[in-house]
Amino acid sequence: MMKSRVARGEQADRIFAALGDGTRRAIVDLLAHGPLTVSALAQPLGVSLTAVAQHLQILEACGLLKTEKRGRVRFCAMDPDGLDALEEWVGRHRQLWARRFSQLEEILREDP
């Protein structure tokens, strides 16, 4: 279990680092509506195909998307499983802070 948590933590680190770039966040936003080709991604972003390909490699390496080549065209789609590490990280922190706020509320309700 601990090894799995460490691996998930490392994956979350890679995802946070990848999403620290505005272009990669824009790619994720575009792909939220469905799969697109590399060319279709490059057009609204105003960047070269090479630049988009580099961003896609980073997003694919951290597990947020998958690419598939069909003939001469590369299609990109979000991989919802890639968000599991983030969901786990946020869930742990949400529980921690919910407990802390509950404890604070109890302290504040105590008579002085």
pLDDT digits (tens, 9 = 90+) for 87-96: 888 888 787 7
Judged against a pLDDT cut of 60, whether residue 102 lies above it is answered with: yes
- C-beta separation of 23 from 47 below 8 A: yes
Cross-strand bridge partners of residue 74: 69
The torsion region of residue 71 among left (phi > 0), alpha (psi -120 to 50) and beta comes to: left
Res 5: pLDDT: 61
Residue 51 sits at the vertex; the CA angle it makes with 19 and 61, to the nearest 5 degrees, is 45
20-67: pLDDT as tens digits: 999 999 999 999 999 999 999 999 999 999 999 999 999 999 999 999
Q: pLDDT band at residue 9, thresholds of 50, 70 and 90?
A: confident
Which of 72, 24, 18 minimizes the C-alpha distance to 47? 24
